[in-house]
Structure formats: structure tokens, C-alpha cells
């Protein structure tokens, strides 16, 4: 089978080009060669977390890989047969567990038997949507598309210590269904959750106070929870539940940022979404693309397309043809909005 050539510097040119390419390669069984990986970055080539994703993907489909080294700018990945099973991956330096799981999840869903993945690493590391985000926003939509995912977070892993433990079970994708998500539906509830570990209580209090003041959410919607983790950490998570979709807006605390600024970031994102009309927020839009392409397609409305999403779409249409995915962007009432449409999807199913 001929090898798909990917220029790793396309679009945003980050680790995402690598991960999307791996997912498509695994699902389609097509070898892929990615060059110029993370070209032009301060530290070009594969970093530790990319290497972890690459090796995890290789393990699941018994792939042959070349160039799996730190700093490598060229990788060749020849997938073998996908294997269901119980997998355990360890990512160093609090690398993102969610990105790794998203890379391999669509492929595992194509198998006749359920698979379980246990990931050790960062679960709330601020560099990618957290496990909470996936559980609340993404997995319910995957369920509507026909993919059942069970998720259990055993331990939080904050940046930079990591050491989180998360278990995900992916069930066979028997009936791919298109996802039609034009409207949010009626509003159900808002909730602000601050999750902290090994930090003084006033930090969570200040963050929640800021949320109450700026968004006017009531006392009973504000929740503070202290969790066990290897290292200290803090994340503000604002959740808005609607009839057809739940959105999550997150910000992670770190060195040199005040509690108020952390909260402010999540508040800014939540406000922007709540003031608009479209169904799907920036990050969720990005996460839906691959499952829809591999499944039965569909359509959704979202805001202005992020460069991340554009890169993903360019990669998908470059690989599967220009008609596989389309987006129309408009600016009807001064607020940018887009409709992303995936006419049929590959309907790979198991």
C-alpha cells in the first residue's frame, strides 16, 4: 500500500499533525511518513509526549516505526493489525494523557472487543483539555455517534509532576450514527468546579469568588474540591450544560499567575461562548472532527475556526479528498460562526 506523505510543518505544524496522522493511519491501515515535524519550533522534532503517543499507537496496531527518537523530525509509521486488549501507558514529565487517549481511541473503537487503557501521566496539565473535559463534553457526543467509552479517573496528575492515573474502556463501535449538532437546546445548569491539591484553601476561594462576581453564578453552583495527587495543582473548570451539548472552560494555575487571573481566563472563554449562539466551542470542535470522519459524519455549528481546527481539516481533506470535509464561515450578527460539515464520513465501524 502506498505511503501517505505528510508535511509536519503544515498549518500550525505542532504535535497535532503527528497525532491526527497517526489516528488516520491506524484506522485506515495506511502507512504514513511525516517530515518536518514541529519545524521552526524552539525545540523542533519529537518531544517526550509525542514520542509517548507514537509508541502507544505503534503498540496498539503492532506498527513498524522509524525515527522514534527525541528530537526526530521525520517519522515513518507502518501500521499492522489492530489488537484489542488491556493497555498501560506511562507518559513522563506530566505529558497529556488525554491527547494520547484521543489519538488511539478511534482505532480501538473499530475492534470487535472492548479495550482498556490505563494511562499514567498528566490528566489536568493545562496543555490540553483535561479528563473532566473529555468525560463531560466529548464522551456524551461520542455516545450519540455510537461509541461507548467508560472513564474512571483514579488519581489527578497536575503539571509538572504528573503521576495521574486514568482508566478508559472503549467499546466496539457497532452502529455509527451521524452527529447533527446545530443548536445547544435549552439551558439546564451552570457549575463552577475548582479542583486543587496540596494548596492553601484561599486559592480556590478567590477563584470561585471571581466566578461569582463576574458571571453571577449562584453559591450552589460553586464547588471546591481537594484531591489527592503527587504534586500540587489547581484547575478552574466552568461547565454549562444544555439539552444537546455540555461545554467546559478550563484554566490551570501555575507559577507566577494570581488566582484571579487563572479564574479570569476561564471566565473569558465561558462568556464568549455564552454570548454566542453556536453549539460547539473551540476545543470541542477540534475533538469532534476525527471521530466524525471515521464514523458516519454529520454537521455542527461552531465559532470562528481555530488555526488548530483548520490544520486538522486541511490534513483530513489532504488525505481523504477535498469533499470529505467542508466548512462555511460567516459573520451574521457581528459574531463569527461556522458550520462544519462532514458529508458521510468513512463509516469504518467494526
Partner 1 sequence: MKTVIIGMLGTNLDRRGRNAKRWAAWRPTVSLCQHEDLVVDRLELLLEPRYQSLADQVTADIQTVSPETKVVHHIIRQEDPWDFANVYSVLRAFTDGYPFDTDNERYLVHMTTGTHVAQICWFLLTEARYIPGTLIQTSPPNSRPKEGDLPIGQYQEIDLDLSKYDQIASRFRLEQLQGTEYLKQGIQTRNKLFNEMIEQIEKVSIRSIEPILLTGPTGAGKSQLAKQIYELKKQRQQFGGKFVSVNCATLRGDAVSSTLFGHTKGAFTGATTARPGLLREADDGLLFLDEIGELGVEEQAMLLNAIETKQFFPMGSDKEVSSNFQLIAGTNQDLWQRVSEGQFREDLIARLDLWTYHLPPLRDRVEDIEPNLEFEIENARTRLGTMIRFSKEARDRYLQFATREAQWRANFRDLNSSVTRMATLADGGRISREVVEEEIALLQARWRAGAPSTHEGETLLQNILGTEHLQELDPFDRVQLAYVVAVCRSSRSMADAGRQLFSVSRERKSSINDSHRLKRYLEKFGIVFERIGAV
CB of 230 to partner 1, least distance (A): 5
Q: Minimal distance in Å, beta carbon 298 to partner 1?
A: 36
Of 194-213, binders to partner 1 (CB under 8 A) are 198
Of residues 150-189, those binding partner 1 (CB under 8 A): 160-163
# binding residues, partner 1 (CB under 8 A): 27
Radius of gyration of the chain from its Cα atoms, rounded to whole angstroms: 20
> With CB under 8 A as the contact rule, which of the stretches 25-33, 251-259, 310-318, 327-335 interacts with partner 1?
251-259
Q: How is the chain split among helix, strand and coil, in percent rounded to 5?
A: 35, 30, 35
Binding residue for partner 1 (CB under 8 A) from 1, 43, 218, 322?
43
Is 48 an interacting residue with respect to partner 1 (CB under 8 A)? yes
Q: Respond yes or no: is residue 308 known to be catalytic.
A: yes
- Per CB under 8 A, 124 contacts partner 1: no
Q: Does residue 343 touch partner 1 according to CB under 8 A?
A: no
Contact flag: residue 257 with partner 1 (CB under 8 A): yes
Among 18, 27, 51, 54, binds partner 1 (CB under 8 A): 51
C-alpha 14/C-alpha 44 separation (Å) is 9
Task: Tally the residues of the chain.
Answer: 350
Could you tell me the smallest distance in angstroms from the CB atom of residue 127 to partner 1?
A: 10
CA distance 73 to 60: 22
Please identify, using beta-carbon distances, which residue of 40 and 334 lies nearer to partner 1. Answer: 40
Q: Residue 24 burial by CB count (10 A; 0-12/13-18/19+): exposed, middle or buried? A: buried
Cβ neighbourhood burial of 225 (10 Å; 0-12, 13-18, 19+): exposed
Which of the ranges 20-28, 42-50, 290-298, 319-327 carries the binding residues for partner 1, by CB under 8 A? 42-50
Question: What residues form DSSP beta bridges with 328?
Answer: 339
**Shortest distance (Å) from residue 148 CB to partner 1:** 29
Q: Binding residue for partner 1 (CB under 8 A) from 81, 216, 219, 255?
A: 255
- Please give the backbone phi and psi of residue 20, each rounded to the nearest 5 degrees, phi first: -60, -40
- 93 is an interface residue for partner 1 by CB under 8 A: yes
Of 211, 257, 215, nearest in space to 233 by CA: 257
Query: Considering the rule CB under 8 A, would residue 95 count as an interface residue with partner 1?
Result: yes
Helix (H, G, I), strand (E, B) or coil at 202: helix
Residues contacting residue 32 through CB under 8 Å, at least 6 positions apart: 3, 4, 5, 6, 21, 22, 24, 25, 76, 77
CB of 334 to partner 1, least distance (A): 32
Catalytic residues: 308
* Contact footprint for partner 1 (CB under 8 A): 43, 47-49, 51, 69-71, 90-95, 120, 160-163, 198, 230-232, 254-257
Amino acid at each position: 500500500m502506498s505511503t501517505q506523505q505528510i508535511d509536519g510543518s503544515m498549518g500550525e505544524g505542532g504535535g497535532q499533525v503527528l497525532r491526527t496522522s497517526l489516528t488516520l493511519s491506524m484506522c485506515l491501515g495506511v502507512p504514513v511518513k511525516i517530515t518536518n515535524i514541529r519545524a521552526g519550533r524552539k525545540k523542533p522534532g519529537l518531544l517526550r509526549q509525542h514520542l509517548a503517543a507514537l509508541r502507544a499507537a505503534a503498540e496498539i496496531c503492532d506498527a513498524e516505526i522509524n525515527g522514534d527518537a527525541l528530537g526526530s523530525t521525520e517519522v515513518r509509521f507502518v501500521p499492522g493489525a489492530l489488537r484489542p486488549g488491556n493497555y498501560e501507558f506511562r507518559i513522563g514529565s506530566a505529558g497529556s494523557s488525554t491527547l494520547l487517549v484521543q489519538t488511539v481511541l478511534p482505532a480501538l473503537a473499530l475492534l470487535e472487543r472492548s479495550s482498556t487503557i490505563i494511562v499514567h501521566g498528566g490528566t489536568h496539565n493545562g496543555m490540553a483539555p483535561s479528563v473532566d473535559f473529555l468525560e463531560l463534553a466529548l464522551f456524551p457526543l461520542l455516545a450519540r455517534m455510537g461509541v461507548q467509552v467508560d472513564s474512571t479517573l483514579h488519581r489527578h496528575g497536575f503539571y509538572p509532576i504528573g503521576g495521574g492515573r486514568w482508566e478508559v474502556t472503549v467499546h466496539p463501535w457497532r452502529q455509527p450514527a451521524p452527529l447533527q449538532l446545530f443548536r445547544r437546546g435549552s439551558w439546564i445548569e451552570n457549575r463552577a468546579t475548582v479542583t486543587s491539591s496540596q494548596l492553601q484553601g484561599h486559592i480556590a476561594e478567590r477563584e470561585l469568588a471571581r466566578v461569582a462576581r463576574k458571571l453571577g453564578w449562584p453559591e450552589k453552583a460553586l464547588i471546591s474540591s481537594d484531591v489527592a495527587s503527587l504534586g500540587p495543582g489547581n484547575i478552574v473548570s466552568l461547565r454549562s450544560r444544555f439539552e444537546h451539548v455540555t461545554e467546559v472552560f478550563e484554566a490551570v494555575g501555575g507559577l507566577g499567575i494570581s488566582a484571579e487571573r487563572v479564574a479570569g481566563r476561564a471566565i473569558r472563554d465561558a462568556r464568549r461562548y455564552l454570548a454566542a449562539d453556536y453549539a460547539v466551542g473551540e476545543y470541542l470542535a477540534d475533538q469532534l472532527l476525527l471521530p466524525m470522519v471515521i464514523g458516519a459524519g454529520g454537521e455542527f455549528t461552531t465559532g470562528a475556526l481555530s488555526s488548530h481546527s483548520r490544520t486538522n481539516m486541511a490534513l483530513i481533506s489532504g488525505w481523504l479528498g477535498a469533499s470529505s470535509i467542508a466548512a462555511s464561515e460567516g459573520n451574521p450578527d457581528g459574531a463569527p460562526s461556522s458550520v462544519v460539515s462532514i458529508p458521510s464520513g468513512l463509516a469504518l465501524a467494526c
